[in-house]
Amino acid sequence: MTDRSEARALNPSTDVTGLILAGGQGSRMGGCDKGLERLDGIELVGHVRARLEGRVAEVLISANRHLKSYRRLADRVVVDGEQGFQGPLMGICSGLGVATTPWVLVVPCDTPLLPHDLVARMAAGIGGHRIAVAHDGERLHPVIMLLERRLASDLQAALAAGERKVGRWLERHDWTRVDFSDCPGAFSNLNTEEDKRRLEARLQRPDLERKEEG
C-alpha cells in the first residue's frame, strides 16, 4: 500500500481535471459508441460533461474512435497509448498522463444522471487518501474515482505487467469510499436499449432527479 497523500482542502476548479471514459467497445450494445448515443436529444457524454463543466479546471474525454465528434464535446480528447479496447485502466492512465492538475476525477460516459454535486462531494471526501471512490450505499463504483495525478507512473507499470482490473489496482493503494447512499439512482448506467429508454424517461423528469438528490 502506498503512503497517504497530504490532507488538504481541494479547490476543484483549479486542482481537479475531469476525465470522461468513452473508449469502451460497447459490446453489450452491439459495438456502438455509447458516448455518442443520444438521450433526450443530447449525446450521452454531453449529459455527463454537464455534471463537470464549470466545476473542474478542464474536461478531458478518453476515446478511441469518432475523435472528431468527441472534440466538439471536450476541452481535449485523449487517445489510449495502446491500440484496441484495453479497458478503463488504460483510459485512466492516458488521462493522468496529460492532466495538468494534481487531481483527476474519473467518470464513465454512460452515467447521465450523476449527482450535480459529485465534484464537490468527491473533493470533500478524499481526506488524506490518494484515491476516493463513489459508493451508492450498496455498490462501489470503481470507475467513478478521484485520484492523484502522481499515480500515473504506478498505473503505467501495472498496465505493462498485464493488469487490467480496476479493483485489483485499487487494492494496492490507500483509498477511501465517498458515500452517495442518498442518491443511488444517480449512478445508473446504460448497457441495453431498455436502459436507454429508462434513462431517457428520467432525464425528461428533472423533478424525480431533484427529489432523489435532495
Q: Average the pLDDT over 32-46 and give the result.
A: 92
Answer whether residue 67 is part of any domain.
yes
Confidence of residue 2 (pLDDT cuts 50, 70, 90): very low
Residues 6+ apart with CB under 8 A from 31: 25
State the binding site: 21-23, 34, 80, 110
For residue range 15-34, list pLDDT tens digits in order: 999 999 997 655 565 568 89
Rounded Cα gap, residues 107 and 114, in angstroms: 9
Query: What's residue 165's pLDDT?
Result: 94
Query: What's residue 106's pLDDT?
Result: 99
Q: Average the pLDDT over 10-16 and give the result.
A: 96
CATH number at residue 33: 3.90.550.10
Q: Which of 107, 109, 86 is nearest to 37 (CA)?
A: 109
Answer whether residue 102 is part of any domain.
yes
Return the ∠ at Cα 135 (arms to 130 and 137), rounded to 5°. Answer: 145
Answer whether residue 5 is part of any domain.
no
Return the ∠ at Cα 46 (arms to 59 and 139), rounded to 5°. Answer: 80
For residue range 168-201, list pLDDT tens digits in order: 999 999 999 999 999 999 999 988 888 988 888 8
Answer whether residue 2 is part of any domain.
no
For residue range 57-114, list pLDDT tens digits in order: 999 999 989 999 999 999 999 998 665 557 899 999 999 999 999 999 999 999 999 9
Residue type for 164, please? Answer: R
Query: What's residue 83's pLDDT?
Result: 57
Answer whether residue 142 is part of any domain.
yes
State the binding site for Mg(2+): 110
Does residue 127 surpass a pLDDT of 90? yes
Answer whether residue 45 is part of any domain.
yes
Confidence of residue 9 (pLDDT cuts 50, 70, 90): confident
Higher pLDDT, 86 or 208: 86
Answer whether residue 94 is part of any domain.
yes
Q: Output the nine-digit C-alpha cell for 116.
A: 450535480
Does residue 149 surpass a pLDDT of 90? yes
Answer whether residue 4 is part of any domain.
no
DSSP assignment of 28-42: GGTT--GGG-EETTE
- Give the domain extent around 117: 12-213
* Predicted TM-score (pTM) of this structure: 0.90
Query: What's residue 32's pLDDT?
Result: 82
Give the strands of the sheet with 131-135, arranged side by side. 76-78, 58-62, 16-21, 103-108, 140-148, 131-135, 175-179
Count of the separate structural domains present in the chain? 1
Does residue 209 surpass a pLDDT of 80? no
Confidence of residue 210 (pLDDT cuts 50, 70, 90): very low
Rounded Cα gap, residues 192 and 38, in angstroms: 13
State the binding site for GTP: 21-23, 34, 80, 110
Residue type for 203, please? Answer: L
